[in-house]
Amino acid sequence: MNAYHRIMLAVDLTEESRPVAERALALASASGAELHIVHVIEPLSLAYGGDVPMDLSAIQDQIHEQARSHLTEFAQGLGINESRRHLIFGRPENEIQRTAEINKADLIVVGSHGRHGLALLLGSTANGVLHGAPCDVLAVRVGQTTEK
């Protein structure tokens, strides 16, 4: 079987990111793959439906800075250097796919669930990434309370 060469780990930087990252890290070292990390910042207008009657640019800048420092800290903890960190602005599922494609990743690793909760069989982002993904996708099961 062909081993993976480049793994794109997608994190929403919530608590659930840790077990997902650990799985990606283990896979990368087992297969000798390069590990990249991507975090997507959602435009506020997208999250709140588009017509907010105020200028959101200052808040958006602040969110950007906060995301940058969280991603730096998180990636450093995993030993992922700067050239393999991707902070992108846009719609998460599209941008995760696009970043994987641009960087020629052959595996995308996401959490089965994140901020959008456990209501769906797969979280909405994991689902979106799966549809039309440019490569394999691994959804690491998170947030389940019942052990088998």
- Please give the residue ranges that form the binding site for ligand AMP (CB under 6 A): 10-12, 16, 20, 38-40, 42, 92, 96, 110-111, 113-116, 123-126
Indicate the residue among 6 and 115 with the shorter CB distance to ligand AMP.
Answer: 115
Closest separation between CB of residue 47 and ligand AMP, Å?
10
Minimum CB separation of residue 49 from ligand AMP in Å reads 17
Partner residues linked to 36 by β-bridges: 8
Cβ(96)–Cβ(37) below 8 Å: no
Q: Give residue number: closest CB to ligand AMP.
A: 123
Which CB sits closer to ligand AMP, 33 or 129? 129
What is the rounded distance in angstroms from the CA atom of residue 106 to the CA atom of residue 3? 9
Distance in Å, CB of 95 to ligand AMP, minimum: 7
The residue among 33 and 92 lying less far from ligand AMP, judged by its C-beta, is 92
Interatomic CA distance for residues 45 and 60, integer angstroms: 10
Which SS3 state, helix, strand or coil, does residue 36 take? strand
55 DSSP assignment:
-
Question: Could you count the other beta carbons within 10 Å of the beta carbon of residue 31?
Answer: 15
Residue 67 near residue 44, CB atoms below 8 Å:
no
Specify the residue, 2 or 69, whose C-beta has the smaller distance to ligand AMP. Answer: 69
- Closest approach, Cβ 127 to ligand AMP, in A, equals 7
| Closer residue to ligand AMP in complex, CB, 1/39 | 39
- Do strands 136-140 and 107-111 pair parallel, antiparallel, or not at all (unpaired)? parallel
